[in-house]
Amino acid sequence: MSATQAEVAVEPGSRASSRRNAAWLRNPDSRFWQTIRAVGMLALFFTAWGLAVRISHSDLFPTPGNVLRGIIELAQKGLLFKYIVASLFRVTWGFTLAVLIGVPVGLVLGWYTRAFQAFNPILQILRPISPIAWIPVAILWFGVSDAAPIFLIFLASVFPITVSAIAAVQNMQPVYLRAAQNFGLSRGELFRRVIFRASLPQIVTGIRIALGVAWLVVVAAEMIAVNSGLGYLIIDARNAGKRYDLVVAGMVMIGFIGLILDFLVRQLEKFDEVRWGYARR
C-alpha cells in the first residue's frame, strides 16, 4: 500500500490517476467491490427466482418481470401511492404516540425505583404478547377503522421504546448524575439536561427497533382490520382473482419502504447529541 502511494507521488498527471484506479480495483474491500458484491448477489437472486418459476411451470407464482409489471399496473391505477400513504399514515400515528408516551414513561420508571418496582411486572407481562394477538381486541374496541391498526402499531412499538428508555436511565454513568447534582440542578433541569440527554443514544436505538416492529405490524393489521394499505393489497390480490403478481409486488414494496424507514432513523444516530453513545472510546 505504501509502495503504491510512493509511486503515485512521483508519477505525473494522468498516469498517476490510472495507477490509483488500479489500486481500488485491486483492493477487494474498496467501495467498488462492496457495491459489486451487493448488486451482483441481487441480480443472481432475481435470475434464480425467474428460472425457478420457469422450470417449475408455475401458473400462479410470478417471475420478477411479472412483479415489476404488477407494480407498474398498481402505480398507473393510482393504488400504489394510495396504499403506501395509507400504511405510512397509520405507522406515523401509532409510532408517534408510542414515542410520545414511551420515552417519558421510560425515563420516569428508570429514575424512580419504586415506580419501576410497581409497574415493571405489568410491563413484562404485556410485552411478550404479540401485537397480532391483540387484533380481535382491537377490532372489538375500535371496529374496522384506522384506529384499530394505529392502536396495534402503538402497542408494538411502545414496549421497545419504554424498555430501552428505562434501561438507558438505569445504566447511566453515575458520574454524570453527581456532576449534575454538584451544579445544583432542579428536578426538571436534571431530567431535561442530564437524564434525557444521557439516555438519548439508547432511546434512539430503541426507536429504531420499534419502527421496524411497527412496520411489520401495520401490514399484519391491514390484512384484517381495514380496506386500504399494503397489507390489504396483499390479502385483496389473493382473494380477488389469485393475483400473485400483485401479492409479491406488495411484499416487495413493503421491503423497500422498510429499508427506507430504517435508513431514515439511522440518520438520527449521526447527530452529535447521540453519536457519543455509539463511538468507541
Partner 1 sequence: MGIRPKMNKEPFPAIYVRNVSMRFPGKHSSEHIDVLENVTASVAHGEFVCLFGPSGCGKSTLLNIVAGFLDATSGEILVEGEPVRGPDRRRIFVFQENGVFPWLNVRENIGFGLRKHEQTERERTISHYIDMVRLRGFEDTYPRELSGGMRQRVEIARALAANPDIIYMDEPFGALDFLTRLKMRTDLVRIWQSEKKTILFVTHDIEEAIQLADRVLVMSPRPATIQEVIDVDLPRPRDLDSPGYLEKRDRIFRVMGMSLRVGEAIAT
User: Of residues 193-212, which lie at the interface with partner 1 (CB under 8 A)?
Assistant: 194, 197-198, 200
Please report whether residue 14 would count as binding partner 1 according to CB under 8 A.
no
Our CB check for partner 1 shows the closer of 128 and 184 to be 184
Minimum CB separation of residue 183 from partner 1 in Å reads 5
Q: How far apart are the first and last CA of the chain?
A: 28
- Residue 29 or 272: which CB sits closer to partner 1? 272
Question: Scanning residues 118 to 177, which ones bind partner 1 (CB under 8 A)?
Answer: 173, 175-176
Q: CB neighbours of 218 closer than 8 A, spacing ≥ 6?
A: 87, 90, 91, 94, 149, 152, 153, 229, 230, 231
Looking only at Cα atoms, what is the longest distance across the chain? Answer: 77
Query: Does 221 help bind partner 1 (rule: CB under 8 A)?
Result: no
Pick the stretch among 13-21, 26-34, 95-103, 190-198 that binds partner 1 (CB under 8 A): 190-198
Stretch of 38-46, 133-141, 150-158, 266-274 contacting partner 1, by CB under 8 A: 266-274
Q: From the CB of 194, what's the least distance to partner 1, in Å? A: 7
Instruction: State the alpha helices, DSSP H only, in 57-78.
Output: 64-77
Q: How far is the CB of 171 from partner 1 (least distance, A)?
A: 14
Residue nearer to partner 1 on the CB measure, 2 or 182? 182
Answer for which of 183, 259, 264, 266 binds partner 1 (CB under 8 A) is 183
Q: Which of 155, 134, 156 is nearest to 225 (CA)?
A: 134
Q: Does 182 bind partner 1 (CB under 8 A)?
A: yes
By CB under 8 A, tell whether 184 contacts partner 1.
Answer: yes
Contact between 244 and 252 (Cβ < 8 Å): no
The reply to whether 178 sits near partner 1 by the rule CB under 8 A is yes
187 touches partner 1 (CB under 8 A): no
Distance of CA 55 to the CA centre of its chain: 35
Separation of CA 272 from chain center: 21
Grid coordinates belonging to 228: 386500504
User: Shortest approach of partner 1 to residue 198 CB, angstroms?
Assistant: 7
For the CA atoms of 223, 225, 230, 231, what is the dihedral angle to 10 degrees? -20
In the complex, least distance from residue 104 CB atom to partner 1, rounded to whole angstroms: 19
Alpha-carbon distance values, 235 to 85, 239, 241, 250 (Å): 18, 6, 11, 10
Taking the C-alpha atoms of residue 247 and residue 239, their distance in angstroms, rounded to an integer, is 10
181 is an interface residue for partner 1 by CB under 8 A: yes
**Interface residue list for partner 1 (CB under 8 A):** 173, 175-176, 178-179, 181-184, 189, 194, 197-198, 200, 272-277, 279, 281
